[in-house]
Amino acid sequence: MFDEKVLQCFLENQSQLYPEPVAETPEEAEAFLEDCMAVVVDSVREVWEFFEEEGIDTEDADEDSILEADEVFEIGDGRYLIVEG
C-alpha cells in the first residue's frame, strides 16, 4: 500500500509528530502506518478535503498552515502522507 518514497519520508520525518521513533525500518514503518490508517493523497486540495472530512476546523486556515500540520508529511513528489497522531 505504501511505496518506498512514502516509507522513507515517514522514517526520515517521524519526529515531527512523535517524540520518540515509532519505526526504524521500512517494514516497521509500513506496519505502523497501516495500523494508524494513514493515507496518501495527491494534492494540497486532497489534504484539505481529508481534514474537512475528519471534522478538523479549517475555517481560518490557509494552504501553508494546513501543510504545516504535524500530521502532514510532504513526500516530495506532489503527494502528501497524512498520519493521524
pLDDT tens readout for residues 18-68: 999 999 999 999 999 999 999 999 999 999 999 999 988 788 888 888 899
Q: What's the CA gap between 9 and 80, in Å, rounded? A: 10
- Report helix angle 26-35 to 4-13, nearest 10: 90
Give residue 85's pLDDT band: very low, low, confident or very high (50, 70, 90): low
Cα R_g (the chain), whole angstroms = 12
Helix (H/G/I), strand (E/B), else coil: 7? helix
Instruction: State phi, psi for 33 to the nearest 5 degrees.
Output: -65, -35
Asked if 78 and 53 count as a contact pair (C-beta separation under 8 A), the reply is: no
Full-model pTM: 0.91
Q: Which residue has the higher pLDDT, 11 or 60?
A: 11
